Amino acid sequence: MPSSQSCKVLIVGSGPAGYTAGVYAARAMLEPVLVQGIQPGGQLTITTEVENWPGDTEVQGPDLMQRMEAHAKAVGCEVVNDIITAINFDQRPFVAQSDSGTEYIADAIILATGARAKWLGLASEEKFKGFGVSACATCDGFFYRGQEIVVVGGGNTAVEEALFLTNFASKVTLVHRRDSLRAEKILQDRLFKNPKVSTLWHHEIIEVYGTENPLGVEGVKVRHTETGAVQSLPCKGFFVAIGHAPANELVKDVLPTHMGGYVVTKPDSTATTIPGVFAAGDLTDHIYRQAVTSAGMGCMAALETERFLAEHSGS
């Protein structure tokens, strides 16, 4: 049954940016409504140890996000399990449609839809997704006990995924297109010391191959970026960890974006080009993309929303 819900501020997204905005907006008595989206808790729910969240030497990503949700709820943020499908920004109050059929009517909106894994874009990658091809080691690593695994990428995610997968795999090969990683040095040290991991530099994935019936990965073909030489790497699991792209579907036609789709905000601010619409976290951040920076921007967005609503009350 379609229904409608009015609020002063609608927060779209339940990662560190969304929940932090929820805490600050609730404590400012704005009675925020936060819509969680398809991934309640955001990206940190698909990782294990987080070692750079201040105050926790080590914390499991899903635990941290549960605590953030509980905190937001405890101070009065209404957390709703729903997905926003479209927003009409033409006039205030803004009207957001959702998957459940509920229409959210909001005086201000904080967008905190974060980012999602990028894929290589190969037809064979698409074919074997869910049948040996994955972008989430914590979700799928368990299926590859005692098997060989290939991971592609050279950032923090690729190195963390490769290390995590050594808990299950007999061997993990990290394939990277250059000869140096952009991952943090502490993670690189762990990677190079791990006897189950080998690295293949200067190679790109050109094909995933496998069996048809049942559908399953048997290996990947890789090509040397300089010589062009092609070789096969047998594996049962292939993990893609080549970065993340902003989840900008709701706004890409109405808000300016840059650097591959990140929403542009005013300098030193979370304000977008639409008055009353603020954007925080990985959706706007092509540089840092950390939990703590996302949380910081969530705080900024709530404080700026509070100021905006105070200045525009009755308008």
- Binding residues vs ligand FAD (CB under 6 A): 12-18, 35-40, 42-44, 46-47, 50, 52, 83-84, 112-115, 157, 160, 247, 250, 281-283, 289-292, 294
Known catalytic membership, residue 139: yes
Whether 152 contacts 125, CB under 8 Å: no
Residue owning tokens 């190079």: 192
Going 22 to 109 to 250 to 247, the CA torsion angle's sign is negative
Whichever of 156 and 199 has its CB closer to ligand NAP, that residue is: 156
Query: Closest residue (Cβ) to ligand NAP?
Result: 155
Q: Name the residue nearer to ligand FAD (CB basis): 64 or 150.
A: 64
Helices within 88-171 (DSSP H only):
123-128, 137-140, 156-165
Instruction: Decide whether 205 or 263 has the Cβ nearer to ligand FAD.
Output: 263
Is 157 near ligand NAP (CB under 6 A)? Answer: yes
**Which of ligand NAP, ligand FAD, none does residue 153 bind (CB under 5 to 8 Å by kind)?**
ligand NAP
Closest distance between ligand FAD and the C-beta of residue 75, in Å?
18
Q: Does 156 participate in binding ligand NAP (rule CB under 6 A)? A: yes
Parallel, antiparallel or unpaired: strands 257-258 and 262-263: antiparallel
7 is an active site residue: no
Question: Could you say which of 82, 107, 140, 282 is catalytic?
Answer: 140
Q: How many CB atoms lie within 10 A of CB 263?
A: 26
b or e along 17-29 (b: 16 or more beta carbons within 10 Å of the residue's beta carbon)?
Answer: bbbbbbbbbbebe
136 belongs to the catalytic site: yes
Between 38 and 230, CB nearer to ligand FAD: 38
Q: How far apart are CA 43 and CA 29, in angstroms?
A: 28
Considering only CA atoms, which of 47, 48, 50, 42 is closest in space to residue 14?
Answer: 42
- Rounded least distance, CB 193 to ligand FAD, Å: 19
Distances (CA, A) of 106 to 33, 96, 191, 255: 9, 8, 47, 18
Question: In what helix (H) or strand (E) does residue 25 lie, and over which residues does it extend?
Answer: helix 16-27
Helix (H) or strand (E) holding 16: helix 16-27
Q: Which range, of 76-84, 135-143, 207-215, 239-247, touches ligand NAP by CB under 6 A?
A: 239-247
Distance CA 231, CA 34 (A): 49
Q: CA-CA distance, 28 to 30, in Å (whole number)?
A: 6
Given ligand FAD, ligand NAP, none, residue 120, with its beta carbon under 5 to 8 Å by kind, binds ligand NAP
Which one of 99-107, 129-137, 152-160, 250-258 is the stretch in contact with ligand NAP (CB under 6 A)? 152-160
120 binding ligand NAP? (CB under 6 A): yes
Shortest CB 191 distance to ligand FAD, Å: 15
Site residues (vs ligand NAP, CB under 6 A): 52, 120, 152-158, 160, 177-178, 182, 204, 242-244, 289-290
Which residues are marked as active site? 136, 139-140
